[in-house]
Amino acid sequence: MKRIGMLTSGGDCQALNAAMRGVVKTLFTSGEEVEIYGFLEGYRGLIYGNFRMLTGADFSGILTKGGTILGSSRTPFKLIREPDENGLDKVEAMKQNYYKLQLDCLVILGGNGTHKTANLLREEGLNVITLPKTIDNDLYGTDMTFGFQSAVNIATDAIDCIHTTAASHGRVFIVEVMGHKVGWLTLNAGMAGGADIILIPEIPYDIDKVVQAIEDRKKRGSKFTILAVAEGAISKEDAKLSKKEYKEKLKNSPYPSVSYEVAAQILERTGNEVRVTVPGHTQRGGSPCPYDRVFASRLGSEAGKLILDGEYGFMVGYKNREVVKVPLKDVAGKLKMVSPDATIVQEAKMLGISFGD
């Protein structure tokens, strides 16, 4: 008998259910007797012992279902060692609930913060296997995360739709894409959607260069310009500020996000009408695309195999088109950023895309 705990933590995304289904179907197909304990609302469920027993029926029909059947929540890693409002030691509580249920392993699906806590639990002696979930594709140790391709599809659709109205009215349009710290989603959706300017956090922009790119398009006879802007895009001036100074600037900013600030600056310098579109959480929602269904199923299957083989302390990742196991200690606390010198960035520039630098 193997007793497996499972939880989904952090922001939701497409293919979480597909990944969990992959784990469970692999375990059940092996003929091993298995009990699955689903912790509700992420680490919160593990901390407070909020779980339910899951059967094969719970995983039937969820391959195409977005979100997560277990629910999710954010439990910041920086607060994980701090007692809750009632003085409860959260780390000790998670360990005790693990031992009370006599679990053989915890399967944890999540992004960067989730992996930090998962690695902490590994260091505390628990058997842990993780799966890389995030629309940002910023997890270290894997070339791809599930949820990313589905989010790219949605953000690209938004840019595609903007094309027709931008062309009809001859306007400048900004599509704000999710991504506070990294620009993989904006970069890929921007290229796929034919954006003329792409602004991402890793390449601080000069607003004068952005305006120049718009003016250059006008001179070439283009009546409209589309910008794909990451929500974490930052100007060269702001990039020189300390974290404290930048947070203070954002706190006192009259703009709801960087896209609106860029829009106001473009209007001021060019007189062009600028419209901002924010797809927002639609990028996390809906059914996973076929790529993510297959990808998440493959990762889940490999996680199931690791459990059957008794191999713990790994994230199941994807490197060089192969599913691999990556030591969790090598993943936690690291971000996979877009390098300004990356070939995809250079290729985008060769296509005439401006990054405002």
Check: CB of residue 203 under 8 Å from CB of residue 355: yes
Q: How many CB atoms lie within 10 A of CB 265?
A: 17
CATH superfamily of this structure's domain 150-284: Phosphofructokinase domain (3.40.50.460)
**Catalytic-labelled residue, pool 136, 138, 196, 292:** 136
Q: What is the mean pLDDT of residues 103-128?
A: 97
Q: How many CB atoms lie within 10 A of CB 80?
A: 17
H or E stretch at 319: strand 314-319
pLDDT at 46: 97
Mean pLDDT, all residues of the chain: 95
Q: What is the mean pLDDT of residues 63-81?
A: 93
329 pLDDT tier (thresholds 50, 70, 90): very high
Domain layout of the chain by residue ranges: 2-147+288-330, 150-284
Strand-by-strand arrangement of the 274-277 sheet: 197-199, 225-230, 172-177, 274-277
Check: CB of residue 259 under 8 Å from CB of residue 224: no
pLDDT at 229: 98
User: Is 69's pLDDT higher than 90?
Assistant: yes
273 pLDDT tier (thresholds 50, 70, 90): confident
DSSP string, 176-217: EES-SS--HHHHHHHHHTT-SEEE-TTS-B-HHHHHHHHHHH
Specify the long-range contacts of residues 260-267, CB closer than 8 Å, at least 24 apart: 262/174, 262/199, 262/207, 262/210, 262/227, 262/229, 262/233, 263/172, 263/174, 265/207, 265/210, 265/211, 266/172, 266/207, 266/210, 266/211, 266/214
CA-to-CA distance for 304 and 52, rounded, in angstroms? 20
Query: What single-letter DSSP state applies at residue 354?
Result: B
Q: What is the mean pLDDT of residues 111-134?
A: 97
H or E stretch at 94: helix 90-100
Considering only residues 54 and 166, tell me which one the structure prediction assigns the higher pLDDT.
54
Q: What is the mean pLDDT of residues 139-148?
A: 97
Best CA proximity match to 45, nearest among 71, 68, 66, 20: 71
Residue 340 CA, distance from chain mean position: 20
Q: Does domain 2-147+288-330 have CATH number 3.40.50.450?
A: yes
Q: What is the mean pLDDT of residues 183-204?
A: 98
pLDDT at 265: 96
Please give the share of the chain, as a percent, with pLDDT higher than 70: 100
Q: What is the mean pLDDT of residues 6-27?
A: 96
For residue 41, the SS3 value is: coil
The predicted model scores a pTM of 0.95
Active-site residue, 136 included: yes
Q: What is the mean pLDDT of residues 123-129?
A: 98
Pairing type for strands 322-327 and 314-319 reads antiparallel
Best CA proximity match to 134, nearest among 295, 271, 320, 266: 295
In sequence order, the 6+-apart residues with CB closer than 8 A to the CB of 261 are 253, 255
284 pLDDT tier (thresholds 50, 70, 90): very high
200 pLDDT tier (thresholds 50, 70, 90): very high
Q: Would you state the structure tokens that stand for residue 145, as one six-digit string? A: 């995360």
pLDDT at 32: 86
Q: How many residues does the chain have?
A: 357
Residues 293-306: tens digit of each pLDDT: 999 999 999 999 99
pLDDT at 262: 97
Please give the share of the chain, as a percent, with pLDDT higher than 90: 90
Considering only residues 76 and 355, tell me which one the structure prediction assigns the higher pLDDT.
355
